[in-house]
Amino acid sequence: MPAGDALSARQQDDVVRAIRLARQQSQLPVSVYVGTLEGDSRATALQLHGALGDEAARTVLIAVDPGARRVEVVTGSEARRRLDDRAAGLAAMTMTSAFQAGDLSGGITSGVLALAEQAQTAKSLHTDTPE
Amino acid sequence: MTARTALRTAATVAVATALVSLSSTPAFAATHPDDGGEPGAGLSVIETLLIFVGIPAAMFIAVVILVNASSRARGPRYRPGLGWWAAPIWFNGPDDADVAVRTATATTGGGGASARW
């Protein structure tokens, strides 16, 4: 996909670094899409997540539509076990508060890091209800 | 006060008074003009405009250019509510995104969240 000029080279580096950090610290593959989500934004985001192929189940997709002012966080079936919808919602809120101030790259970066942090917390097995 | 001290004081006062009164006579002024006392050649209209209009205007323009240069070099930036113009960008996405999206089946059984701002 062609590189958008909405993010400067340095901002793109920041996002790439955050994605790398998430993978290193939490073994969480994160994919970030910034662009228009045509039609139903949720359905489009799910389609984009499906396009990730074999990795999709383990991957979290952050889809940002700055024009429509929407952000969608899609967790794959495996990723969802580590990141419940509450954690995804928290990361989405982290991002929107930065987006409101016009800080696109900063919001994405902190959103990716928030997801990584949430995924990092190990489950305490003795208090979890068995599935 | 000794006579010697009185003499020294009187001499100092006399010399100082003599210097001041000598240098303020009209004859002294004629041979020793003050700095800047003599008017030079006048400025032409063009020179006047250049100095008193041209230089301030040039400084003003220089400041405006310096202020605008950084944001101009950075290009347009995202502002909430003013639409979106840039091509999509996908970090850590599929290699051939257009084909991958067209042939993909939407994810089911996943989770996530939506938010607006």
ipTM for the complex?
0.79
pLDDT surpasses 70 at A123: no
Residue B10 binned pLDDT confidence (cut-offs 50, 70, 90): very high
Q: Is B26 on the interface with A (CB under 8 A)?
A: no
Burial A70-104 (b: 16+ CB within 10 A, else e): bbbbbbbeebbebbeeebbbbbbebbbebbeeebb
Residues in chain B: 117
Please report the sign of the dihedral spanned by the C-alpha atoms of residue B55, residue B57, residue B62, residue B63: positive
Among the residue ranges A8-12, A46-50, B9-13, B73-77, the one predicted with the least confidence is B73-77
CA dihedral in degrees (A40, A46, A47, A53; nearest 10)?
A: 170
Residue A124 carries which side chain, given as an amino acid letter? S
Q: How many angstroms separate the CA atoms of A104 and A125, rounded?
A: 38
User: Tokens 């995202």, residue?
Assistant: B78
Q: What is the CA radius of gyration of chain B?
A: 41
What average pLDDT does the segment A77-95 reach?
A: 89
Write out pLDDT tens, residues A22-41.
998 888 899 999 988 888 88
pLDDT surpasses 90 at B56: yes
**Residue A64: its H or E element:** strand A60-65
* Higher pLDDT pick, A130 / A16: A16
User: Tokens 């290193």, residue?
Assistant: A24
Q: Which two tokens stand for residue B32?
A: 């020793």
Residue A97 binned pLDDT confidence (cut-offs 50, 70, 90): very high
What average pLDDT does the segment B6-35 reach?
A: 83
Burial of A8 (0-12, 13-18, 19+ CB in 10 A): middle
Q: What is the mean pLDDT of chain A?
A: 85
- Quick check: B113 and A73 CB within 8 A? yes
- Quick check: B107 and A76 CB within 8 A? yes
Q: What pLDDT is stored for residue B104 in this prediction?
A: 78
Enumerate residues 19 to 48 of chain A having a beta carbon within 8 A of any beta carbon in chain B: 19, 29-36, 41-43, 45-48
Residues of chain B in contact with residue A94, where contact means CB-CB under 8 angstroms, are none
What average pLDDT does the segment B86-93 reach?
A: 86
Q: What pLDDT is stored for residue B30 in this prediction?
A: 74
pLDDT surpasses 90 at A71: yes
* Ranges assigned E (strand) in chain B: 89-91, 111-116
- Quick check: A102 and B111 CB within 8 A? no
Among the residue ranges A83-97, B44-58, B97-111, the one predicted with the least confidence is B97-111
Nearest residue on chain B to A91, judged by CA atoms?
B113
